[in-house]
Amino acid sequence: MENESSTFTVLDLIDLDLKEQNSLELKCVAGRSGLGRQLTVPDFNRPGLALAGFFESFAWDKLQIFGRGETAYLVKLDKENNHASVDKLFSYSIPCCIFTNSLLPSKSFLDAAEASGCPILSTPLSSSEFSSRVLRILYEIFAPKTTMHGVLVEVFGIGILLIGDSGVGKSETALELIERGHRLVADDVVEIRCVNGSVLMGQGANKMIGHHMEIRGLGIINITHLFGVGAIRDKKQVQLVCQLEDWNPEKVYDRIGMDELTCEILGVKVPKLEIPVKPGRNIPIIVETAAMNERLKKMGYHSAKEFNQNVMRWLESENERTLYFSRDDY
């Protein structure tokens, strides 16, 4: 956790807990002493040019991926007893070398790596598969992130972040939503990452204590045990922000739904609703309806705009106007 926020090392890359279709299946074959080397760029490099002796603009700070081509070239270099470029390669502080297709370099290469403390990893995946997986994973890890105070729930498939001051009823609203069959992603501390520059992924800050809620009067409750595994979700895109606030008689709340408020998180604009809380207002149902309305908008149907268009069409229709002007009581 803490490592993740500050530095990301090669060891962290091997240790990532990933599911089948994402797993990198890495194992370290040499240079264990260098596993603490840091990754600073979410990218990889194919070191073909470097091996051929061309080191200008060599991207030494990236992961170096050796596929069949690079490995075959290494074999050729080894046969010719030409170690100059390999030695030069290891003179850079490269984070690690990764051999795909379960390939392994020669003994002399491994010895050179060991001597310079550069970790050599091996994976059974093909180069293209490995590179697409590793890029996806690195982008997620290096994505800008922030934590927000709020509750993230999934309602009818829409990720809704409930925000508002302490005691306004965020957790209670979320509890009622869970009761009604929706899902809890994270309570209180929501960690949000900006993936691909436009998608905000929200999740709990800590897996160990995730999916617990604090309800005043009840204390801390375990949502998974109480409502079952169907009531929780590990992560979800933040698609709508609902700001709960105590009813302020001076403030003008949206009555039509034509103006679209947005909330900027990590540079991404997310639609926002301001929902005033007052006794007698059933907030969970309002949030549920907001979710359905959001889905309608995504399908291209905007209730408020459509309604207004109908009103305007009706006002403009010649028929109505003549009817209006021909009346004698206006």
Residues that bind other proteins (CB under 8 A): 1-2, 5-6, 147, 149, 166-167, 187-189, 205-206, 209, 212-214, 220
CB of 11 to other proteins, least distance (A): 19
Q: Please answer whether residues 64 and 98 qualify as being in contact, where contact means their C-beta atoms are separated by less than 8 angstroms.
A: yes
Q: What is the DSSP letter of 236?
A: E
CB of 223 to other proteins, least distance (A): 12
Q: Which residue of the set 133, 187, 188, 233 is catalytic?
A: 188
CB of 154 to other proteins, least distance (A): 19
Helix 303-316, helix 318-326: angle, nearest 10: 50
| Nearest residue (CB) to other proteins, 9 versus 122 | 9
| Nearest residue (CB) to other proteins, 146 versus 196 | 146
| Nearest residue (CB) to other proteins, 93 versus 222 | 222
Neighbours of 223 (CB within 10 A): 20
| Nearest residue (CB) to other proteins, 246 versus 260 | 246
Structure tokens at 109: 């290469």
Alpha carbon 235 to its chain centroid, in Å, reads 8
Q: Which residue of the set 79, 251, 255, 327 is catalytic?
A: 255
| Nearest residue (CB) to other proteins, 5 versus 282 | 5
Q: Report the C-alpha gap between 287 and 160 in whole angstroms.
A: 8
H-state helical runs in the chain: 2-6, 10-15, 48-51, 68-79, 84-91, 107-116, 127-142, 170-179, 223-227, 283-298, 303-316, 318-326
| Nearest residue (CB) to other proteins, 18 versus 209 | 209
Q: Report the C-alpha gap between 101 and 201 in whole angstroms.
A: 32
CB of 239 to other proteins, least distance (A): 23
Structure tokens at 40: 């600073």
Q: Per DSSP, what are the bridge partners of residue 23?
A: none
CB of 246 to other proteins, least distance (A): 13
Q: Examine the residue annotation and report whether 313 is marked as an active-site residue of this protein.
A: no
Q: Examine the residue annotation and report whether 225 is marked as an active-site residue of this protein.
A: no
Q: Which residue of the set 68, 76, 136, 149 is catalytic?
A: 149
Alpha carbon 206 to its chain centroid, in Å, reads 15
Q: Examine the residue annotation and report whether 297 is marked as an active-site residue of this protein.
A: no
Q: Please answer whether residues 123 and 26 qualify as being in contact, where contact means their C-beta atoms are separated by less than 8 angstroms.
A: yes
Q: Which of 162, 147, 239 is nearest to 200 (CA)?
A: 239
CB of 42 to other proteins, least distance (A): 20
Structure tokens at 213: 């809620």
Task: Report the catalytic residues.
Answer: 149, 170, 188, 255
